[in-house]
Structure 1
Amino acid sequence: MFFNFKKYFLIKVFFFVLILTLCYGLYLYVKINRFINGKVWNFPTSIYGRIVNLEPGNSYSQKEVLHLLKSTMYRKVDLVMLPGEYSIKNNTIEFIRRAFDFPDIREDEFHARLYFNKDTLVKIKNIDNNHDFSFFRLEPKLIAMLKSPEAKKRMFIPRNQYPEMLVKTLLAIEDKYFYEHDGIHLSSIGRAFLVNLMAGRTIQGGSTLTQQLIKNLFLTNTRSILRKINEIYMALILDRFYTKDRILELYLNEVYLGQDGDEQIRGFPLASIYYFGRPINELNLEQYALLVGMVKGASLYSPWTNPNLALKRRNLVLFLLYKQKYITRKIYKDLCKRSLNVQPKGNIISSHPSFIQLVCEEFHKKIYNPIKNFPGTKIFTTLDYTSQNAVEQAVKIEIPILKRKKRLKDLEVAMIVIDRFTGEVQALIGSSKPEFNGYNRALKTRRSIGSLSKPITYLTALSQPEKYHLNTWISNYPLSIKLDSGQYWTPKNNNFSFSKKVLLLDALIHSINIPTVNLSINIGLKKLVDSWLLLGISKKYITPLPSISLGAINLTPFEIAQVFQIIGSGGYKSSLSSVRSIISDDGKVLYQNLPQSIHIESSEASYLTLYGMQQVVKSGTAKSLGTIFKEFSLAGKTGTTNNLVDNWFVGIDGKQIVITWIGRDNNHTTRLYSSSGAMQIYKRYLQYQRPVPLVLKAPNNINMFYINNLGELFCKKNNQHNRMLPIWSIKNKKICNDKLSERFSIKKKKNFLFWLKNLF
């Protein structure tokens, strides 16, 4: 009877444990099913640079396109056969563009040949069908991945897009019975148990890929029998209800393969980008071997921190491939001789923090939510990698030189590069240390702009063609103006010399103070303030005093860039932007920027002002720059404030407007003029970013005349009147030619003292 009782008791216990195990198994199944069939991962926000559109006739040189290809890690080969490869022959570049999910559509790989004539792209040929293309675009560079909620970065690729060479290498090293077992491999577990028991410590693992995946997705790294039982049970469930390829897909995208600061690098696709700079399908066998070798311990075998251990581990993986007859002995020996050839840490994905700050601010304005609330989005920006690299190189080289010359340790800098017509921000830096992620001086520093204000004064005057032209005489007598406070403001010329009068154009070219003040009073301070408001500057930053004409207005480099974008584009305002499109993690378009421009200033006055700024570089305060880049007809304007506290430079070529500021955070003197400070950084920038010639197209109402020493206009050139300049002609709309010999009458200006008397 006792034995019967014991038997029934054991049966009850057995069924109780069985039911409990089944119930727990059901719970685990529901847990696994909900996770895997739901949203497995929260992806980080990916930020891409500018999508480069190529068309025949574009001013892209062969060298510039090569730089674009190299920046996205295309490889030079003799014979182009695979995506990501290019070759050069004479004036052509042949390459296979990678497939890419552009914001509007996914485009497959594309085999193209580009033809160049000097600095112009003249033809695009589709090699596959031998047809010419009128439009073609390059995939953008990944410039940043923002922090994810779980501090894990990854890029997802489906199983069918993984190269079989990688999959076979992984299975050969980590789980060669993967397609045969049921989620666990008992002989491997038993072997590992005996080896570890004999060693007295854990030196070998018996986990399958399925078990490793379970541990990564659901469990902790804590070593315990209970955790191991959970791992085995969940692996059996996962293998029973999901295909091997789905399990492998999850593993390939989940495995831990290194660290980027406090963020984990997860999955082979992202690891391939970080370590080699190329997509996973473009690597070769020894590179796959390195990544697979890191699975055992990504920190221990990191090629960044432990290159020797990483090399030994890679060669061991290659040896195991040889032993399993995947490769020959010769291939094994040849591959072992190769170096790791990994990219330096931070070389591929370098976030350009100042620019990213601007992107995040614009994201918040457009979507009305902080960027952290939209994980997994793709943001396509306007950043031009060549321009950004040129800015950073210019600052890294020139700022230390200036610091040594002036014996200053705290010189700071801000630069912003925009497209002259669209207003797209192509590069931005807010610190003398480009990698610094903190106070962004390009967006936040509000400083006196000095003589950068003068072009706006001349723009305002030239908008009144019935009164002012480039050959208008302006008084250059010393003056003293009584302010509302009872004090007197007495501006001076930089060279402390005065002439009776000076041509309006020459006053701008040589940045002469007194004529500029006189002109501002002549046109009226209200009109001058209205011009600033029209150019987009808030009223709270404008004080209606005569000193505003000499830069008594505090603006940020970003605001200055918007002002000169309007002047540089012929009076058309295109709001500055850094974001082209935002795509959600499910592929929906959240935002699309459609560039728009509004005509807010007269094209004629803008043209004349920009012409004057060209002469500044040709023969004025920026003459040293014009001497070096003579063939590009650059426009520019220097700006230095009192006591040399701030110095600025605006440089304009055919495509870009560049704003440069140098100063100190404590507002002490920099001991630098614009020509010896900010302009030198711009000059260095142009060494890395070849300028495009600035060819001004005159509006219909602008005619070219010759002037004599008295400023009188003539249509023919001779020894007495051989200086040419454009005039906005209202009454006389005829274009000068050899038959026309008409003098343009100039209305005499009222005496400056008359205006001063009326002002007070």
Structure 2
Amino acid sequence: MAGDDREPIGRKGKPSRPAKQKVTRRRVRDEDYDDDYDDDYEDEEPMPKKAKGKGNKPRRKRTWLWLLIKLGIVVAVLVAAYGVYLDQKIRSRIDGKVWELPAAVYGRMVNLEPDMQVSKNEMVRLLNATQYRQVSAMTRPGEYTVQANSIEMIRRPFDFPDSKEGQVRARLTFDGDRLETIENMENNRQFGFFRLDPRLITMLQSANGEQRLFVKRSGFPDLLVDTLLATEDRHFYEHDGISLYSIGRAVLANLTAGRTVQGASTLTQQLVKNLFLSSERSYWRKANEAYMALIVDARYSKDRILELYMNEVYLGQSGDNEIRGFPLASLYYFGRPVEELSLDQQALLVGMVKGASIYNPWRNPKLSLERRNLVLRLLQQQNVIDQELYDMLSARPLGVQPRGGVISPQPAFMQMVRQELQAKLGDKVKDLSGVKIFTTFDSVAQDAAEKAATEGIPALKKQRKLPDLETAMVVVDRYTGEVRAMVGGAEPQFAGYNRAMQARRSIGSLAKPATYLTALSQPNQYRLNTAIADAPVTIRLSNGQTWSPQNDDRRFSGQVMLVDALTRSMNVPTVNLGMALGLPAVIDTWVKLGAPKDQLSPVPAMILGALNLTPIEVAQAFQTIASGGNRATLSALRSVIAEDGTVLYQSYPQAERAVPAQAAYMTLWTMQQVVQRGTGRQLGAKYPGLHLAGKTGTTNNNVDTWFAGIDGSQVTITWVGRDNNQPTKLYGASGAMSIYQRYLG
């Protein structure tokens, strides 16, 4: 910890206090009976034996007095030695690494440039997903206003991986679906490049189960500090770590009530208990607490103590993790940074200090509201706010967000992040305390994917009477391969089986574009208008059996153009084409698209989808096609920054030429025909202006349904099926494509 946070014992910076009156004590001295007694009384007769015993009383008093003095000295030495021990214990933690901070995981940083293809409505959705708030008049960071053709915003300050940037007032002007200009409202200059602060999406679990987001004392609003002190320790700046006034008040209140109704712990004592002691109820623990509080108060500044307390206090539970400190609690309950809280929201968090479980706003909203208003009343009574403001604030609802609305586990996406961290950092992954992890996560895409799953799957379950229907969805950037969103099941936040990365299923007709891509890679032999045989075919397999594929309608047309065969997802022409090309050539194309070699068996049925891939592997293949034949390895990790600012990892997305560009574009154009007039025409009719490309997929007996959707910027792979491999009674268009349609909104 910074050296200037510490002060020597009896620091000069402590607020002055009234001088304490010295209480003089009269020292009683015994006479020296050994000498003076003989000199003054040698001529007198000896005293009786009884009188002699009375004469020895001063000697006995002197003996006991010396014993008490010696005992006092021993006790004082022991207490001082124990104090030295406690001081060392306190300094070793507070001056060192106070907490094992969890790693904070952020979503993608959105980079804006003039002339970008982004509409005003898209920008509003992006700002909302990044927890910006639309207001009528901006007053603080994290707010924006919307005009006819522009958006004005105050961007939050943020420590980006390459630099720290302060808050900025900016005006974004739009011309239709294009971002025309970005203006700095403070100096009227034009930005050529402008980036938004990323959203905190989750935190990696710490070893002790405590989650916190550290903020320095200067980052806390003064009004929040005033509210805390007014409620919990109004004499904080006057006492030395323990408050005799509070102790006396508590004793009187408890004696009057006949039971413990009031405590006397200062914020410093509470901090000591949380950092060093247990919750044991004993006099020894309380004595330690008071002693250590005196040491902490003497050694550290009041601001340092407040900084520690406000980052340490317990404010709730999220699953197995404790919510520690006001900064994380602010995001957890309200979805906004602590410096952007309104006074009533601050009062709610301060009120929860007394009992985060009892006053949990989701579990006990009525008690929570009463507690919040009590805190506001204390502020009003202490003239921090006036009656009018109290009436307005106390009339407001709690205003908490839906549970888990901002910081959520994101189990599917985070599984990929953890795998990449292990691959990129090696042994360094064992200690990620305080690390900032920047990912490719897109909140807008993830929210849309989760909504599609949580609304679409229940509808299909009800429609098909299949209670065990499941889904998976992967959304990737069309050109960079960055993973934008991932859903691992019908309950996206359930940390169980991640079907997006682990469910290896037969892909059905999603395999067909690879065969046509192989053909179009040989332009001297195959073009979109090349005729392909659509006639019965029987193929002898290696085991001696024969295989005779059929079209879905059981009909044959003799010949069909290549483009129409893929558009209509015809089986027989595809098999004839694949066998003419040769299975090794088709397999080679799959390898170039990024499919794992161990899943590619040279059997004729693979042409129609007899190969098992996960949704993330399918996404890699279609990303290569969608980007014009350039394969960019899918990734969820952008950079990893250590607590001290050291760059532990930085990705630089690169794509390599995998297949001929012309062949990829023609395959993609044919997939657009699938949406316009083929098996995905229902989707094309609903979104005629999006120029979507897609491919449906259905496996034997309708066990698995797939859809690959491609728009101007993203590739989305959707799977719908059952974990027990039983029929779904669905096709690619009625199953997976219906979920993708909900994703598009």
Question: What TM-score do you get using the length of structure 2 for normalisation?
Answer: 0.90
What CA distance in whole angstroms lies between the structure 1 residues aligned with 2:509 and 2:428? 38
Report the RMSD for the aligned CA atoms in angstroms. Answer: 1.4
SS in 1 for 2:494: coil
The corresponding residue for 1:85 is 143
Asked if 1 retains the 8 angstrom alpha-carbon contact of 2:595 and 2:620, the reply is no
The corresponding residue for 2:647 is 589
The corresponding residue for 1:179 is 237
Change (3 A) 1:370 1:564: farther
Are residue 241 (structure 1) and residue 299 (structure 2) matched? Answer: yes
What CA distance in whole angstroms lies between the structure 2 residues aligned with 1:403 and 1:105? 49
Asked if 2 retains the 8 angstrom alpha-carbon contact of 1:93 and 1:113, the reply is yes
The corresponding residue for 1:276 is 334
What CA distance in whole angstroms lies between the structure 1 residues aligned with 2:706 and 2:165? 43
The corresponding residue for 2:248 is 190
Asked if 2 retains the 8 angstrom alpha-carbon contact of 1:451 and 1:641, the reply is yes
What CA distance in whole angstroms lies between the structure 1 residues aligned with 2:332 and 2:696? 42
Residue identity opposite 2:691 in structure 1? S
Note the 1:64-79 alignment, pairs <5 A. Answer: 64-79=122-137
For 1:458, which of 516, 520, 531 is the aligned residue? Answer: 516
For 1:430, which of 475, 478, 488 is the aligned residue? Answer: 488
Are residue 679 (structure 1) and residue 716 (structure 2) matched? Answer: no
Are residue 98 (structure 1) and residue 138 (structure 2) matched? Answer: no
The corresponding residue for 1:291 is 349
For 1:51, which of 109, 114, 123 is the aligned residue? Answer: 109
The corresponding residue for 2:99 is 41
Task: Answer with 382-391 or 277-286: which moved more.
Answer: 277-286
Are residue 143 (structure 1) and residue 201 (structure 2) matched? Answer: yes
What CA distance in whole angstroms lies between the structure 1 residues aligned with 2:188 and 2:88? 55
What CA distance in whole angstroms lies between the structure 2 residues aligned with 1:399 and 1:187? 62
What CA distance in whole angstroms lies between the structure 2 residues aligned with 1:461 and 1:544? 17
Give 1:370 deviation, angstroms.
Answer: 8.1
What CA distance in whole angstroms lies between the structure 1 residues aligned with 2:240 and 2:618? 66
The corresponding residue for 2:85 is 27
Are residue 616 (structure 1) and residue 674 (structure 2) matched? Answer: yes
Give 1:194 deviation, angstroms.
Answer: 2.5
Give 1:197 deviation, angstroms.
Answer: 2.7
| Structure 2 unmatched ranges of 5 or more | 1-58
Note the 1:113-132 alignment, pairs <5 A. Answer: 113-132=171-190
Asked if 1 retains the 8 angstrom alpha-carbon contact of 2:594 and 2:631, the reply is no
Give 1:628 deviation, angstroms.
Answer: 1.5
Asked if 2 retains the 8 angstrom alpha-carbon contact of 1:72 and 1:277, the reply is no
What CA distance in whole angstroms lies between the structure 2 residues aligned with 1:443 and 1:400? 22
What CA distance in whole angstroms lies between the structure 1 residues aligned with 2:527 and 2:635? 34
Are residue 532 (structure 1) and residue 625 (structure 2) matched? Answer: no
For 1:577, which of 624, 630, 635 is the aligned residue? Answer: 635
Residue identity opposite 1:114 in structure 2? L
What CA distance in whole angstroms lies between the structure 2 residues aligned with 1:407 and 1:87? 46
Give 1:7 deviation, angstroms.
Answer: 1.9
Asked if 2 retains the 8 angstrom alpha-carbon contact of 1:448 and 1:554, the reply is yes
SS in 2 for 1:649: strand
Asked if 1 retains the 8 angstrom alpha-carbon contact of 2:449 and 2:473, the reply is yes
SS in 2 for 1:302: coil
- CA offsets, 1:246-291, max 9 Å, x none? 1111111111112222221111111111122111111222222222
What CA distance in whole angstroms lies between the structure 2 residues aligned with 1:521 and 1:316? 79
Give 1:439 deviation, angstroms.
Answer: 0.6
- CA offsets, 1:549-585, max 9 Å, x none? 1111111111111111111111101000011111122
The corresponding residue for 1:255 is 313
Task: Answer with 325-334 or 549-558: which moved more.
Answer: 325-334
Note the 1:329-344 alignment, pairs <5 A. Answer: 329-344=387-402
Give 1:3 deviation, angstroms.
Answer: 2.4
Residue identity opposite 2:409 in structure 1? S
What CA distance in whole angstroms lies between the structure 2 residues aligned with 1:280 and 1:200? 40
What CA distance in whole angstroms lies between the structure 2 residues aligned with 1:404 and 1:160? 54
Asked if 2 retains the 8 angstrom alpha-carbon contact of 1:44 and 1:376, the reply is yes
Residue identity opposite 1:485 in structure 2? N
What CA distance in whole angstroms lies between the structure 1 residues aligned with 2:631 and 2:421? 21
Task: Answer with 267-276 or 65-74: which moved more.
Answer: 65-74
What CA distance in whole angstroms lies between the structure 1 residues aligned with 2:85 and 2:697? 71
Are residue 444 (structure 1) and residue 502 (structure 2) matched? Answer: yes
Give 1:371 deviation, angstroms.
Answer: 4.8
Are residue 416 (structure 1) and residue 474 (structure 2) matched? Answer: yes
What CA distance in whole angstroms lies between the structure 2 residues aligned with 1:81 and 1:405? 49
Give 1:545 deviation, angstroms.
Answer: 1.7
For 1:215, which of 273, 291, 313 is the aligned residue? Answer: 273
For 1:485, which of 543, 551, 554 is the aligned residue? Answer: 543
The corresponding residue for 1:496 is 554
| Structure 1 unmatched ranges of 5 or more | 688-760
Give 1:419 deviation, angstroms.
Answer: 0.6
For 1:304, which of 347, 357, 362 is the aligned residue? Answer: 362
For 1:402, which of 437, 441, 460 is the aligned residue? Answer: 460
SS in 2 for 1:631: coil
The corresponding residue for 1:345 is 403
What CA distance in whole angstroms lies between the structure 2 residues aligned with 1:672 and 1:331? 59
Residue identity opposite 1:508 in structure 2? L
SS in 2 for 1:96: strand
The corresponding residue for 1:723 is none
SS in 2 for 1:44: coil
For 1:165, which of 206, 223, 228 is the aligned residue? Answer: 223
Give 1:41 deviation, angstroms.
Answer: 0.6
Note the 1:628-647 alignment, pairs <5 A. Answer: 628-647=686-705
Are residue 393 (structure 1) and residue 451 (structure 2) matched? Answer: yes
Asked if 1 retains the 8 angstrom alpha-carbon contact of 2:702 and 2:727, the reply is yes
Are residue 555 (structure 1) and residue 609 (structure 2) matched? Answer: no
- CA offsets, 1:411-470, max 9 Å, x none? 111111111000011111110111211111110111111111111001111111111111
Are residue 373 (structure 1) and residue 431 (structure 2) matched? Answer: yes
Give 1:149 deviation, angstroms.
Answer: 1.3
Give 1:344 deviation, angstroms.
Answer: 2.3
Give 1:77 deviation, angstroms.
Answer: 2.2
What CA distance in whole angstroms lies between the structure 2 residues aligned with 1:551 and 1:370? 41
Asked if 2 retains the 8 angstrom alpha-carbon contact of 1:54 and 1:135, the reply is yes
Give 1:604 deviation, angstroms.
Answer: 0.9
Residue identity opposite 1:199 in structure 2? A
SS in 1 for 2:683: helix
SS in 2 for 1:562: helix
SS in 2 for 1:632: coil
SS in 1 for 2:144: strand
The corresponding residue for 1:667 is 725
What CA distance in whole angstroms lies between the structure 2 residues aligned with 1:334 and 1:653? 48
The corresponding residue for 1:3 is 61
Asked if 1 retains the 8 angstrom alpha-carbon contact of 2:675 and 2:692, the reply is yes
Asked if 2 retains the 8 angstrom alpha-carbon contact of 1:614 and 1:636, the reply is yes
Give 1:641 deviation, angstroms.
Answer: 1.0
The corresponding residue for 1:710 is none
- CA offsets, 1:230-251, max 9 Å, x none? 1111111111111111111111
Q: Percent identity?
A: 55
Residue identity opposite 2:315 in structure 1? L
What CA distance in whole angstroms lies between the structure 1 residues aligned with 2:265 and 2:669? 74
SS in 2 for 1:586: coil
What CA distance in whole angstroms lies between the structure 2 residues aligned with 1:503 and 1:651? 23
SS in 1 for 2:694: strand
Asked if 2 retains the 8 angstrom alpha-carbon contact of 1:44 and 1:153, the reply is yes
What CA distance in whole angstroms lies between the structure 2 residues aligned with 1:265 and 1:300? 15
The corresponding residue for 1:469 is 527
Task: Answer with 71-80 or 380-389: which moved more.
Answer: 71-80
Are residue 325 (structure 1) and residue 372 (structure 2) matched? Answer: no
SS in 1 for 2:733: helix
Residue identity opposite 1:175 in structure 2? D
What CA distance in whole angstroms lies between the structure 2 residues aligned with 1:413 and 1:228? 55
Task: Answer with 308-317 or 98-107: which moved more.
Answer: 308-317
